[in-house]
Structure 1
């Protein structure tokens, strides 16, 4: 008997327009992204800057296209702020997510981050002392307990240009935080950071509560490192692409998730220039590739167990 695989496939609107780089699809209406995403087969969208931020209005926009709210990025600053300040800052966003049925919140640490600047990636912030890590983890634990009390789990997004970027950073954060802090595993960011995406996912799959399925172009990320590009330069030059269009072994990643009873969203998130990588074509390519794996992996596992 084939074990069910309780996942949905969603997408981030960054395939149509990039919030950090308005020149990349900035004039594309939200309605176009939603209509095309639905036509392709996606079940839901993550938030972007073009979405309404009033709970009822957001529900109406998504319902008009038969879509669900997957989650939404939150720019956290716990590296600099107190837990109390962060809880106050997140309230409106948390209410929006909870009202619209999202079970996880994408937490991105933006304090001191260079991800939205022209600084080269090697200048990213770091925690140099054990007490800095411990203090940060303690604050994150308390913050995550608060969001859980509202029915939404923190999905911590390791990210290029931020405090938690490398495999070692992720290992340390997971070792210091409680189960209340979930991990958003981003295959593209992990590979860009020099990690083996399959190996890192295997270590932390029990903490993963959200997946960003992003592929990479190895030649571009090598150039990014060797030429001291910023994160934004890397994006413009095509570091990322959709699953199945780069070098990451997504079959192995999806098999790990299946074998470990992952339940939740698989989100295609690949920031690219839509002029070079047309939005619909690449969103469809990523969807078809993931859908095929989601259907095929359980059958392969059942055959192996027979």
Structure 2
């Protein structure tokens, strides 16, 4: 990647490899300080917000500045398909203002109406939610409104397509992109969630590159993904089995992704997000492995 672009792209890592928000028992003994110290030690300059992070912006800023880290974004659960818009709006504004304080430029939004990602026994592929036309309308109209609210603060929303939700497949991403305003709703491109869903991430990258303003780098172990389908495992069981891992450790080829992002002058964060059981996959060891692989494969 060119020198110019290198300065425009930042490399971060999510805390989910240390402690899991959906399954707090994974990594529950790991403190916030250990987590962010190891991120810095592994060579990352940014992070997303986990459930152990202090919510007081001054406290959080100080802890991060000591380690030369910044907040890239944080996950927001929307319930646009199942609850009155007002409820999502109130929670979103609070979330937006916190991230604005922290200097983040994008807000990760995921639609959690009907989601099965947090259900331990719901088979991931068989019980996947499918939205009705009416729900699609509520979702996309609502997202346009959230996009406007974000832009009041000079920020953008990036939609996170996600396993176990109503926006998981390429077709569903297409529908979401088609029904939302390209000026208001942007896309979070997550290699792992697309690859696991059976999609070709490069197709989505190619199709929506101008709307992609945030990237999650996640690898997939295909043998585990196959087992998840065969044994009808849930999303959480899949994570525990090790379906996800850091870039370079699974079966996805990241080279074309880095190449395409480079050619199109991507600006923004690329974050490693690879939830595993920290008892099986030492977070620091895997973070270092990820950082070295990204440097080798992308030059950043």
Q: Which band: TM-score by shorter chain?
A: over 0.9
Cα distance in 1 for partners of 2:275, 2:74 equals: 16
Q: CA deviation at 1:2?
A: 4.3
How big is the shift at 1:258? 1.2
Equivalent residue for 1:16?
Answer: 18
Q: What SS does the corresponding residue of 2:39 show, helix, strand or coil?
A: helix
> Unpaired segments of 5 or more residues in structure 1?
297-306
Q: Distance in 1 between matches of 2:250 and 2:288?
A: 15
Partner of 2:43: 41
Q: Deviations over 1:114-158 (max 9, x none)?
A: 1011211121221133x4323321111111111111222111100
TM-score (norm 2): 0.94
SS of aligned partner of 2:216: strand
Q: Which residue of 1 aligns with 2:4?
A: 4
Name the residue aligned to 2:97.
95
Q: Equivalent residue of 2:205, what SS?
A: helix
Structure 1 stretches of at least 4 aligned residues deviating more than 4 Å after TM superposition: none
Q: Which stretch shifts more, 40-49 or 145-154?
A: 145-154
- Alpha carbons 2:81, 2:136 under 8 Å: kept: no
Which of the numbers 11, 23, 32 marks the counterpart of 1:30?
32
Q: What's 2:159 paired with?
A: 156
Inter-partner Cα distance in structure 2 for 1:220 and 1:175? 33
Q: Note if contact 1:147-1:154 (Cα within 8 Å) is conserved in structure 2.
A: yes
Which residue of 51, 54, 57 corresponds with 2:56?
Answer: 54
After TM superposition, the structure 1 = structure 2 runs for residues 272-287 of structure 1, keeping only pairs within 5 Å, are 272-287=276-291
Q: Distance in 1 between matches of 2:213 and 2:35?
A: 25
Are the aligned partners of 1:13 and 1:45 in contact in 2 as well (CA < 8 Å)? yes
How many pairs align?
295
Helix, strand or coil at the partner of 2:233: coil
Shift of 1:80: 2.0
The 8 Å contact of residues 93 and 149 in structure 2, kept in 1 or not, is answered as no
For 1:1-306, list aligned pairs within 5 A.
2=2, 4-5=4-5, 6-118=8-120, 119-121=122-124, 122-129=126-133, 131-179=134-182, 180-295=184-299
Quote the RMSD (CA, aligned, Å): 1.5
Residues 83 and 143 in structure 1, CA contact (< 8 A), matched pair in contact too: no
Give, in whole Å, the separation in 2 of the partners of 1:28 and 1:283. Answer: 15
CA distance in 2, matches of 1:40, 1:204: 31
**8 Å CA contact 2:92, 2:146 repeated in 1:** no
Residues 189 and 215, structure 2, Cα contact 8 Å, conserved in 1: yes
Distance 1:243 1:33 in 2: 19
SS of match in other structure, 2:16: helix
Give me the TM-score of the superposition, normalised by structure 1.
0.93
